[in-house]
Chain A
Amino acid sequence: MKRRNFLKNSLTIGSGSFLLSQLPFRSFATPEMLPLALCPDVNDRVLVIVFLKGGNDGVNTIIPTNQHDIYMGHRPGIGIPITGSNSLIELDSTLSLADQVHLNPSMTSFKSMYENGQARIIQSVGYPDINGSHFKSTDLWWSGGDGTATNNSFSNGWVGRFLGTTFPGLYGNPITEFQDPLGIQLGDRKPSLGYHDHEDSYVAANLSQQEPGGLYDQIQGIGTPGHQILGSSEYEQQIAYIMDVENSTSVYAQRITEVFNAGTNSGTIYPATDLANQLKTVAKLISGGSKTKVFMVHLGGFDNHAQQVESGTPHIGKHAELLSDLFNSTKAFHEDLSNLGLEQRVVTTSFSEFGRQVIENGSLGTDHGTLGPMFLFGSAIEPGITGTNIDLTNLTSGGKPDESQLQYDYRQVFRTLIQSWLGASDAVSQSTLFDAYPIMPSLLASNVIVDPSCYVDTYVAQIQIKAKVFLEGFYNKESGDSMFKILNEKNILPLEQPYNVAPFNYAGTESVENIRWNAVDWVLLELRDSNNLNTIVTRQAAFLDIDGNIMDLNGALGVTFKNVNAGSYHLVVYHRNHIAIISNDPLDSGSNVSYDFTKDINSAYGINQVKDMEDGSFAMYAGDFDINGINDISDYNEWNNNTAEIEQYINIDGDGNGIVNNQDFNLWKKNQNQTGDPLIQQ
């Protein structure tokens, strides 16, 4: 938590925003601008993560060739001989002897992938102070943490942070260019912590135990329509949470069903296992056009404290079956992808929450250990072995590999994959909390590695902003913290945005078929470049709801600015008869982009730019009927010329009740000479 705040702050005040603004933004809205040879189209690239649940016994997976006798000494019951029938498989005799490994006999598929240039081993991966608990260690791997006090308790996941940063505001709000869930989880019905983003939202669709081809049929028609007013009580927050799940499920259900049914598998024969089925589904979804960035699949059963091998025949048993499932399934998956012409788009990696003890426990099993190998698969990776064998004599008193043998932090591997494979920028790595872990240049084939000049901050150029602002004239002092919606109740709010006239001259075509029940009035929003506050980046019309929230045309909280690159912006709010305001602080994309103008007099840039409503809330000053940024005699003249209009949508109706009368005059009068900040005067 602390670390995240630190990062957020540094983005706002110092080197962070420098970093963001100085890096070349390369959004995929304009890929044609990039030289193709240098900058591959990473938009289509996919990462598949196979999580091996329970703690894989790395020592019986990858066996150091020149320490085989030591290995047998530690593992008289479960050790596998290096010669004779059912013995270990030699992997690669061209490596130096110290680096050479033998494979578990059930890993023939791995060997064939390796020889085919599609497999890599990364030796001795882990993190500082490995935690011996499955649950905690699993959380640490997925949250991007480690056993040290500072990184021990992140409440969200690195995949979610990565996706939340590179697809800002997109989860649950699909757009034409990107209609798929950002992540898809298979094989474990528990939503993984890994997919929780900065705001602790789960940004993936979980298809475990769902038939993707029939998902939409099942989802249709469930749930009830939205609630009108949801407050802050736990009960109402839970209702809002459930509605979110219902919405995002139905939003994606149709898409997933269509993609799945449009997709196909080649004739590749997959093993008849759960993992193989998960991977087969992934292949079918990708071939059907899914752009989902990160797929997570699961293989459980590695926690074998007892009977991991058959007594007397250590080459068979539970562990051997798991390994053959893992590698046979992965091999079939990549064969299928090759046949489908998709092999260049997919890298698969696998990991387990920890390794196991080098010394067997006597129940033909092994207890929890520390370090373990990771694997990479696919034609896009560089085949081989990264790192050298663990020293089987350098153990802790408990028989685990001493943690001084850690060769690679897992975050180095994942950072390499999100940057060198998926093309994310350094700023994204920072937001993912991976920036402290150096990229490993040798994991991927040199011709697929994304050059740093091609890194991107977002895959989709858009920013979603939530903000809260009150209009003094419309403010409901009696109930507080809300506004009246009399124009709405009188049915005189226009269906088209009203800012297409001077002085705004905003040409946008925003319109609605019906006014939402909770709409108060239209506002015009504008983003200004934080580095030059005179630069207008974009504008958009939207509604304010009765609680002061900016609401898009569909009634969703917040507004999405399309075709806007990640960056740092100030938000301007214009209204027809209130003095415009601009946010005092910048809003940085990639973090939680929301802004509240209602709680602090300094929230609006300049001096005294929001009015104290004397109940803890602040509001935009009313009375600027001619919208020139100052309450002066010309506003009075406007009012005086048109007084006694009724049931009209008119600027001089400062309190928004559809009637022009002395109350509107009073609003102007008490704010007389209030002047808006010159920066944003129309």
Chain B
Amino acid sequence: MASLTPMSGTLGMTNAKHLIRRTTYNITKSQIDSFTNMTVSDAVDSLFNIQPLTIEEPLDYQTGQAYINSGITPISGNPSLRRYVKSWWLHEAYSCTSIHYKMMLFLHQYFIVNLENTPYSKGFDYLELLRFYAVGSYKELSRKMIIDNAMLKYLDGDSNTESNPNENFAREFLELFTIGKGPQIGPGNYTNYTEDDIIAASKLLTGWRDSDRPQPADNAYIDLETGLQAGYPDHNRHDDSDKTFSAAFGGVTITGAFNETDMHRELDDFVEMIFLQDATAKTICRRLYRYFVSRNISSEIESDIITPLATTLRDNNYNLEIALKQLFKSQHFYDADDSNTGDEIIGGLIKTPLDLIFPTVSYFQIPIPDATTQTKDHYQEWYRESVDETICTLSSFQLFAPEAVAGYQPFYQAPSYDRNWINANTIVARYKIPEMLISGNRILKGGDLGAGIQIDLVDFLENSGIISNVLSAETIVTELIDYLFCHPASEGRYHYFLNDIFLEGAPSFDWTIDWIDYQNTGDDSAVRIPLESLFKALLYSQEYQLM
């Protein structure tokens, strides 16, 4: 029986790797080791500690200056400046060892906007809004998102007026952002809401406009809670009639706002009505479950995990931190709640492209060009051209610019969900990563990855201290498998990596001799080749695609 019963004791290595992989993009040996000996509760709590940004806002590589709130005019063109907002986010995501950036991506793939069609300051504000609520109240975030400047444009909220209602935002808010669609039980009736509710909601949402976003932000439009600039109410464009909702919402009537201040009240009533419904909490918990745990939601999971988790969420004003801690501390998250431990969850998700590249870079200690001194290599060459436009885009992950408001297929498309990350169309880009890191070249696109982005495996072995005994071929292979894969390798598999790949059939003593020769002569050619073969084979493996 699946259960949210807390897991006691220390994590142990398998669970430590599991927890870190599922919640962060930055994986190091030292963090795995330290989590291994921590109690489940302490380890999970530590993931929620807020970490400061490494850099407050993105820099324009042509000036080396901040350009969102500094008041300094950037030189680069708008498309580049929009992309650097993404680069900035990517670097913060890479650097962060808490859960916040994985949660930001979770919230983004829920509240979709397209940052490539959004002015960069508004895109920045949108991301900051996600960060503000990363582990905060989903309900409060939903309320703020309705009048976020980027969102008002993306789903035509700004052109939704009393004289010309536009359903686009209202429909997606109900279908995708909050309560979600249930089974269609009649014409225009999707269990949790109806087509008439969409019409009522679009009327209710009329009159909100996006505000001009100067640099720095315009104090007149600052939201006092978040400190971020938002849209504003325009009562002349608002439909102030009373709006009545269907039986799905208990037939509630929300009084139309009589002035602009009252429009905030009307919005509050609307959000309150939606978040009063069990279906809303359950929908969010299912999304959380698929994102963090598993795509398989059986009726047992629905009743034993989703339902109680949804109760926690709803009872705590939709505070995500409380619900997530309950989930991550549970026996279920570690698949320890039935007799057959570890067969359902650990290693059962396919990695996103970010989960493929970032932990590889962090584990192998590949240096990232510095944001302030190597600004172009940092923002342009590495994060924009290499991570975003080569690795992610060619793996069908157009970060912050999905094709449609439903978001990214692996997060929403039943029945395959995360399996959609891997298809004939994506495996090339995913499997070229080791070659890219070894050569320092983008391979699938022209150009270098950026200054210094290249893995030197001989140096890694010699100086990182990550392999306990570099003279032993067995130790090298064992320790890499132990830390990089979710589960131990079978004997046959271990011998494949050790004998077929690393030693190419030679006795393991040959490696020891080669390494000693290298130490004596400084000629690393004999040790570099097998190390690179092993690195490629490990990263080519199906196991490495999983988390």
Measured CB to CB, the residues of A under 8 A from B are 53-54, 129, 131-136, 147-149, 152-153, 155, 188-191, 193, 200, 202, 205-210, 218-219, 222-225, 227-229, 232-235, 238-239, 241-243, 245-246, 248-249, 252-253, 300, 303, 305-306, 361-363, 365, 367-368, 397-398, 403
The list of the 6 closest CB pairs from A to B, nearest first, reads: A362-B164, A234-B348, A235-B347, A233-B343, A363-B159, A222-B431
Determine whether the beta carbon of A234 is less than 8 Å from that of B343: yes
Determine whether the beta carbon of A300 is less than 8 Å from that of B423: no
User: A232–B186 Cα gap in the complex (Å)?
Assistant: 40
B residues less than 8 Å from A228 (CB atoms):
490, 492-493
With both chains docked as a complex, state the minimum distance between the C-beta of A355 and any C-beta of chain B, in angstroms: 14
B480 at the interface (CB under 8 A from A): no
Q: Which of B159, B181, B183, B540 has the most CB of A within 10 A?
A: B159
* Given A234-B343, A234-B345, A235-B348, CB of A227 within 8 Å of CB of B493: yes
Determine whether the beta carbon of B425 is less than 8 Å from that of A207: yes
A residues less than 8 Å from B496 (CB atoms):
224-225
Label chain B's interface by main secondary structure.
Answer: loop
With both chains docked as a complex, state the minimum distance between the C-beta of A471 and any C-beta of chain B, in angstroms: 24
B344 at the interface (CB under 8 A from A): yes
User: A398–B343 Cα gap in the complex (Å)?
Assistant: 50
Scoring B residues 341 to 367 as 1 if CB is less than 8 Å from chain A, else 0, what string do you get? 011111111100000000000000000
Determine whether the beta carbon of A305 is less than 8 Å from that of B487: no
B220 at the interface (CB under 8 A from A): no
Scoring B residues 493 to 537 as 1 if CB is less than 8 Å from chain A, else 0, what string do you get? 100100000000000000000000000000000000000000001
Determine whether the beta carbon of B486 is less than 8 Å from that of A305: no
* Given A133-B181, A147-B184, A361-B164, CB of A234 within 8 Å of CB of B347: yes
Please name 8 pairs of A and B residues whose Cβ atoms are closer than 8 Å in the assembled complex, sorted by A. A129-B187, A132-B171, A152-B183, A191-B409, A222-B540, A229-B492, A233-B347, A365-B156
Of all chain A residues, the one with the shortest Cβ separation from B294 is: A234
B residues less than 8 Å from A403 (CB atoms):
187
B residues less than 8 Å from A234 (CB atoms):
294, 296, 343-345, 347-348
* Given A242-B422, A367-B167, CB of A129 within 8 Å of CB of B542: no
Contacts beyond the supplied A189-B396, A224-B542: 20 A-B pairs with Cβ under 8 Å? A133-B181, A135-B406, A152-B183, A189-B426, A190-B413, A191-B420, A209-B394, A210-B424, A218-B428, A228-B493, A232-B343, A233-B343, A235-B346, A235-B348, A235-B546, A249-B424, A249-B427, A305-B166, A305-B168, A362-B159
B residues less than 8 Å from A233 (CB atoms):
342-344, 347-348
Of all chain A residues, the one with the shortest Cβ separation from B167 is: A367
B residues less than 8 Å from A53 (CB atoms):
404
Contact of A208 among B425, B486, B541 (CB under 8 A): B425
With both chains docked as a complex, state the minimum distance between the C-beta of A399 and any C-beta of chain B, in angstroms: 10
User: A243–B520 Cα gap in the complex (Å)?
Assistant: 42
Determine whether the beta carbon of A361 is less than 8 Å from that of B195: no
User: A160–B518 Cα gap in the complex (Å)?
Assistant: 56
Among B158-210, those with CB < 8 Å from A are 159-161, 163-168, 171, 175, 181, 183-188, 190, 195, 198-199
- Size of interface on B: residues with Cβ below 8 Å to A: 71
Determine whether the beta carbon of B347 is less than 8 Å from that of A132: no
B residues less than 8 Å from A363 (CB atoms):
156, 159-160, 164, 166
* Given A223-B427, A403-B187, CB of A136 within 8 Å of CB of B343: no
User: A19–B349 Cα gap in the complex (Å)?
Assistant: 43
User: A242–B487 Cα gap in the complex (Å)?
Assistant: 16
User: A129–B403 Cα gap in the complex (Å)?
Assistant: 26
Determine whether the beta carbon of B406 is less than 8 Å from that of A398: no
* Given A235-B348, A249-B427, CB of A243 within 8 Å of CB of B542: yes
Determine whether the beta carbon of A200 is less than 8 Å from that of B540: no
Determine whether the beta carbon of B167 is less than 8 Å from that of A306: no
B residues less than 8 Å from A191 (CB atoms):
409, 416, 420, 423, 425
B415 at the interface (CB under 8 A from A): yes
User: A149–B183 Cα gap in the complex (Å)?
Assistant: 7
Q: Which of B164, B183, B419, B423 has the most CB of A within 10 A?
A: B423
With both chains docked as a complex, state the minimum distance between the C-beta of A332 and any C-beta of chain B, in angstroms: 25
With both chains docked as a complex, state the minimum distance between the C-beta of B114 and any C-beta of chain A, in angstroms: 13
B414 at the interface (CB under 8 A from A): yes
With both chains docked as a complex, state the minimum distance between the C-beta of B226 and any C-beta of chain A, in angstroms: 27
* Given A152-B184, A238-B347, CB of A361 within 8 Å of CB of B490: no
Of all chain A residues, the one with the shortest Cβ separation from B434 is: A222
Determine whether the beta carbon of B546 is less than 8 Å from that of A222: no
Q: Which of B171, B184, B420, B543 has the most CB of A within 10 A?
A: B184
B28 at the interface (CB under 8 A from A): no
User: A539–B432 Cα gap in the complex (Å)?
Assistant: 44
Determine whether the beta carbon of B350 is less than 8 Å from that of A202: no
A residues less than 8 Å from B185 (CB atoms):
149
User: A53–B403 Cα gap in the complex (Å)?
Assistant: 10
B545 at the interface (CB under 8 A from A): yes
With both chains docked as a complex, state the minimum distance between the C-beta of B536 and any C-beta of chain A, in angstroms: 9
Determine whether the beta carbon of B424 is less than 8 Å from that of A205: yes
With both chains docked as a complex, state the minimum distance between the C-beta of B188 and any C-beta of chain A, in angstroms: 7
User: A227–B493 Cα gap in the complex (Å)?
Assistant: 7
With both chains docked as a complex, state the minimum distance between the C-beta of A482 and any C-beta of chain B, in angstroms: 15
Contact of B423 among A152, A245, A305, A306 (CB under 8 A): A245
User: A649–B395 Cα gap in the complex (Å)?
Assistant: 51
A residues less than 8 Å from B413 (CB atoms):
190, 193
B residues less than 8 Å from A362 (CB atoms):
159, 161, 163-166
* Given A241-B419, A367-B167, CB of A136 within 8 Å of CB of B187: no
Of all chain A residues, the one with the shortest Cβ separation from B405 is: A134
Determine whether the beta carbon of B195 is less than 8 Å from that of A398: yes
Among B125-171, those with CB < 8 Å from A are 155-156, 159-161, 163-168, 171
A residues less than 8 Å from B487 (CB atoms):
235
Of all chain B residues, the one with the shortest Cβ separation from A227 is: B493
Of all chain B residues, the one with the shortest Cβ separation from A210 is: B425
User: A478–B545 Cα gap in the complex (Å)?
Assistant: 34
* Given A133-B175, A234-B348, A300-B403, CB of A368 within 8 Å of CB of B424: no
User: A363–B206 Cα gap in the complex (Å)?
Assistant: 13
Determine whether the beta carbon of B195 is less than 8 Å from that of A238: no
User: A222–B428 Cα gap in the complex (Å)?
Assistant: 8
Of all chain A residues, the one with the shortest Cβ separation from B350 is: A238
Determine whether the beta carbon of B431 is less than 8 Å from that of A223: yes
B residues less than 8 Å from A241 (CB atoms):
419, 422
With both chains docked as a complex, state the minimum distance between the C-beta of A379 and any C-beta of chain B, in angstroms: 32
B residues less than 8 Å from A223 (CB atoms):
427, 431, 540, 542
User: A7–B348 Cα gap in the complex (Å)?
Assistant: 33
With both chains docked as a complex, state the minimum distance between the C-beta of B197 and any C-beta of chain A, in angstroms: 11
Of all chain A residues, the one with the shortest Cβ separation from B406 is: A135
Of all chain B residues, the one with the shortest Cβ separation from A223 is: B540
With both chains docked as a complex, state the minimum distance between the C-beta of A657 and any C-beta of chain B, in angstroms: 22
User: A245–B428 Cα gap in the complex (Å)?
Assistant: 11
Scoring B residues 301 to 340 as 1 if CB is less than 8 Å from chain A, else 0, what string do you get? 0000000000000000000000000000000000000000
Determine whether the beta carbon of B159 is less than 8 Å from that of A306: yes
A residues less than 8 Å from B546 (CB atoms):
235, 238-239
With both chains docked as a complex, state the minimum distance between the C-beta of B492 and any C-beta of chain A, in angstroms: 4
With both chains docked as a complex, state the minimum distance between the C-beta of A489 and any C-beta of chain B, in angstroms: 14
User: A253–B346 Cα gap in the complex (Å)?
Assistant: 32
Contact of B420 among A147, A190, A242, A368 (CB under 8 A): A190
Determine whether the beta carbon of A132 is less than 8 Å from that of B198: yes
B residues less than 8 Å from A153 (CB atoms):
183
Determine whether the beta carbon of B427 is less than 8 Å from that of A222: yes
